[in-house]
Structure 1
Amino acid sequence: MIRIAVAEDEKQYADQLQAYIQQYADQSGEIIDVAMYTDGDELIENYKAQFDLVLLDVEMPFLDGMSTAELIRKTDQEVVIIFITNMAQYAIRGYAVDALDYVLKPVSYFAFSQRLARAISRMKKREFHYFTVPIKGGAMKLERGDLFYVESQRHNLIFHTRNGKVQFAGVMKEWEEKLTPVGFFRCNKGYLVNLEHVEGVRDGCAIVHGEALIISRPRKAAFLEVLAEYMGGRNR
């Protein structure tokens, strides 16, 4: 799922952007969740690095888009920022906050969809290194290599990381789909392991960071094959 925040004080543009995002989602097949804000201060109030993309109107009455972006960058270096403006000169200032792009008003669907596609492409490349996990009171950025394995217990997930355990309510299937393309494999129903941290296989278990995690019989052949491919690719 892609999480997008839109801060736009003019209702007609806010409605238009929301409609454009829905149209793009329908056409591309992307699952997109949109949170709408009427001003930058409303967005910043509870900002906890929970978004993948932020669309900011440059001119807003209480906290303008540029100031909002500067505050966002103090806590979140990864989120993609796109400005919505009727003045092209703001694009130059955008470099200071690492903005990806800007869209000029009046906004056309073609121009908007092109920039949205570019932003999503950048986000997907970034997923190979970082992802966001929920924590009590907010969210945290986690680097792929810092995650040893994911454990499923009833309706909760436990992320075993370099800095300890992170537990939250979640579905293993969602994280399996997200992490499998970047070097993870589900060795049984309850464990999704980072192949980078597999130290070996012994007695039907994957040894991950010193812990023995059972490899289910139906998954054993596939696990060994994927592990061999991963190790071979890493050593080339």
Structure 2
Amino acid sequence: MIRIAIVEDDRHDAELLQDYLKRYEKENSVHFQITVFTDGLDIISDYRAEYDIILLDIQMKHLDGMSTAEKIRKLDEDVIFIFITSTVQFAVQGYTVDALGYVLKPVPYLAFSQILHKAARQIEKKQSRFYLTLDTDGGQLRLDTAQIYYIESQKHDILIQSEKGGFRTAGPLKRMEEMLLPLGFAKCHNAYLVNLLHVTALLPNVVRLSNGTELPVSRARKKIFLDSFTDYVGGIQR
């Protein structure tokens, strides 16, 4: 299933896009879950990173499509934007939010189906990756687990250090451990859960990561952590 949001303030255009999506479903044996918003403000209010594709009208009354995409991109680095626009002038700015492309109004089905097909191929590749959905102060964030360096327990919160920066969220480290151990993570210390993908060196009582961070390896965890790393490198599943 592919989850699609339509953000379009013109009712006729929104209905046309829904009709096109239903036609594409039948022709390509795929299933869409479709949600419709009538303005950019509606989708960014309490935004949840749960969509695969967002079809965005660029010119809307309250919050235009480009501003909407910029706000969403800060929370969701993987969602695919396709702009629906009446003029190329606005659409060319799409590179700033890494948009897949645009379709000009009045929207022809052929052009729409072609860019949708391109998006669907990208989603197939993404679905082989694993994501964490985090509740942060800025809203809900979707993060590729491959981009995480390590996770640190800090009292009642956890701090996630990643290629995209640091993110704080509530919850015990144990919950993350249960989710991530099967994905190549291991605890080097009661306070640290490490992504073995980013381990570059194992030093006496210290593990070094690809971002230069060095974390302590506790005596109690040392053997289990070394075994986990050896298995990970060798592709062994215990």
**When the two structures are superposed, what TM-score results if normalisation uses the length of structure 1?**
0.61
Partner of 2:151: none
Structure 2: distance between partners of 1:42 and 1:131:
25
Partner of 1:189: none
Report the alpha carbon displacement of residue 38 of structure 1 after superposing the two structures with TM: 0.3
Partner of 2:202: none
- Evaluate the alpha carbon distance shift between residue 26 and residue 144 of structure 1 in structure 2; reply closer, same or farther with a 3 A threshold: farther
Q: What's the CA shift string for 1:88-110, capped at 9, x where partnerless?
A: 12232111111110011011111
Secondary structure class of the residue paired with 2:43 = helix
Give the 4+ runs in structure 1 shifted more than 4 A. Answer: 132-139, 192-197, 208-211
Report the alpha carbon displacement of residue 54 of structure 1 after superposing the two structures with TM: 0.7
- Evaluate the alpha carbon distance shift between residue 100 and residue 166 of structure 1 in structure 2; reply closer, same or farther with a 3 A threshold: farther
Q: Is 2:36 the partner of 1:39? A: no
* Correspondent of 1:141 among 125, 129, 143: 143
Report the alpha carbon displacement of residue 142 of structure 1 after superposing the two structures with TM: 4.1
- Evaluate the alpha carbon distance shift between residue 67 and residue 145 of structure 1 in structure 2; reply closer, same or farther with a 3 A threshold: closer
Report the alpha carbon displacement of residue 231 of structure 1 after superposing the two structures with TM: 3.9
Secondary structure class of the residue paired with 1:75 = coil
- Evaluate the alpha carbon distance shift between residue 33 and residue 165 of structure 1 in structure 2; reply closer, same or farther with a 3 A threshold: farther
Structure 2: distance between partners of 1:133 and 1:209:
26
- Evaluate the alpha carbon distance shift between residue 17 and residue 209 of structure 1 in structure 2; reply closer, same or farther with a 3 A threshold: farther
- Evaluate the alpha carbon distance shift between residue 40 and residue 103 of structure 1 in structure 2; reply closer, same or farther with a 3 A threshold: same
**When the two structures are superposed, what TM-score results if normalisation uses the length of structure 2?**
0.60
- Evaluate the alpha carbon distance shift between residue 75 and residue 138 of structure 1 in structure 2; reply closer, same or farther with a 3 A threshold: closer
Partner of 1:9: 9
Partner of 1:52: 52
Report the alpha carbon displacement of residue 19 of structure 1 after superposing the two structures with TM: 1.2
Whether the 8 Å CA contact 2:66–2:94 is kept in 1: the answer is yes
Partner of 2:84: 84
Secondary structure class of the residue paired with 2:9 = coil
Whether the 8 Å CA contact 2:54–2:82 is kept in 1: the answer is yes
Counterpart AA for 2:23: Q
- Evaluate the alpha carbon distance shift between residue 116 and residue 165 of structure 1 in structure 2; reply closer, same or farther with a 3 A threshold: farther
CA RMSD, Structure 1 to Structure 2 (Å):
3.8
Structure 2: distance between partners of 1:140 and 1:166:
17
- Evaluate the alpha carbon distance shift between residue 131 and residue 60 of structure 1 in structure 2; reply closer, same or farther with a 3 A threshold: same
Task: Count how many residue pairs are aligned between Structure 1 and Structure 2.
Answer: 175
Report the alpha carbon displacement of residue 140 of structure 1 after superposing the two structures with TM: 3.7
Q: Is there any run of 5+ residues in structure 2 with no aligned partner, and where? A: 149-160, 162-171, 187-223
Summarize the alignment of residues 168-207 of structure 1 with structure 2, pairs less than 5 Å apart: 193-194=182-183
- Evaluate the alpha carbon distance shift between residue 4 and residue 166 of structure 1 in structure 2; reply closer, same or farther with a 3 A threshold: farther
Report the alpha carbon displacement of residue 122 of structure 1 after superposing the two structures with TM: 1.4
Partner of 2:75: 75
Structure 2: distance between partners of 1:86 and 1:68:
17
Partner of 1:218: none
Q: What's the CA shift string for 1:3-62, capped at 9, x where partnerless?
A: 111100001110010111121122222221111000000011021211111110001000
Counterpart AA for 1:97: V
Partner of 1:96: 96
Report the alpha carbon displacement of residue 76 of structure 1 after superposing the two structures with TM: 1.3
